[in-house]
Amino acid sequence: MKKVLITGAAGFLGSHLCDRFINEGYHVIGMDNLITGDLKNIEHLFKLKNFEFYNHDVSKFIHVPGNLDYILHFASPASPIDYLKIPIQTLKVGSLGTHNLLGLAKEKNARILIASTSEVYGDPLVHPQTEDYYGNVNTIGPRGVYDEAKRFQESITMAYHTYHKVETRIVRIFNTYGPRMRLNDGRVVPAFIGQALRGEDLTVFGEGLQTRSFCYVDDLIEGIYRLLFSDYVYPVNIGNPNEITIKDFAEEIIRLTGTEQKVIYKPLPVNDPLQRQPDISRAKEILKWQPQIDRSEGMKRTLEYFKGLSHEELYRSEHKDFSSYS
């Protein structure tokens, strides 16, 4: 049985990756310090013999006994409400954490895939964004701690590939949604759904003309899985190119939930990206991948998940003053 280490295992994407690799017959080692993750996302796996969990901060020395075939590095705060609150930890997990995991991959002769992000493009001047675009990032702006952590992560990964011959893969993840998202994490899908379910007006920043492209989590996981087992070492965009404005998305959520809230507007935050749309030509060509689940179906599944939350969980995010939407 091949063994895979998944960092950020108790998070949104990490937990879905654990499920996928368990279902594919791997021995999965989940690692998370639970700073933003939640054990309830993986508690269904604890009874399995081929799953083990380490409560550990990857920014510190990592020891995994025995052989290791694959590493997927998904440990990192991933939403503005998190990385604005814990900026130093965000920078450390992208730098020290990635360094530690690349060293572990070198030691174990394991292939490593690191989770980068569309945020490396900053507020893009090119639309849609291709992997060859270098980005437009403010290094000292409010998003800089996350953007630069991920950009450094890509650089050190390529350095380990070039100079140490480590087998590396890099995925640039665009907006993803689905079950297990945290309701209060500051991202637009759970923010809007949470507001609608609580009977609150939906908050839109600026005029709501900024765009996002939403990929359902099952599609994303499939793209990541294919990338890991491909022979391609350079960054690959994985996301859904179906673009929508935030204003239109708010109206879509109101229709989906059957509620009658209004849309209210607040000032646009600094460095909020005005456009987000992946060019997925590379993924189509190399991975034979493209999204299969349209937004209407994906949002229905996501809404059902959030409807299943307890009253305490639903109202835990009440009165959060989000200043931006990732």
What residues act catalytically?
Answer: 146
Q: Which residues pair with 117 in a beta bridge?
A: 173
Alpha helix (H) ranges present in the chain? Answer: 12-23, 80-83, 87-92, 98-108, 144-164, 188-197, 217-228, 246-257, 281-282, 295-307, 311-315
Q: What is the DSSP string of 263-299?
A: EEEEPPPTT--S---B--HHIIIII-----S-HHHHH
Rounded to whole angstroms, the maximal C-alpha distance in the chain is 58
- What are the C-alpha distances in Å from 131 to residues 123, 291, 314? 15, 18, 38
Neighbours of 266 (CB within 10 A): 12
Q: Which residues pair with 51 in a beta bridge?
A: 28
Q: How far is 132 from 136, CA to CA, in rounded Å?
A: 13
Q: How far is 148 from 287, CA to CA, in rounded Å?
A: 27
Non-local CB neighbours of 102 within 8 Å, separated by 6+ positions: 112, 156, 157, 160, 164, 166, 168
- Exposure string of 8-34, with b = 16+ CB inside 10 Å and e = fewer, is bbbbbbbbbbbbbbbeeebbbbbbbbe
Is the CB of residue 187 less than 8 Å from the CB of residue 79?
Answer: yes
Pairing mode, strands 211-213 and 243-245? antiparallel
Closest CA to 82 of 36, 118, 144, 13: 36
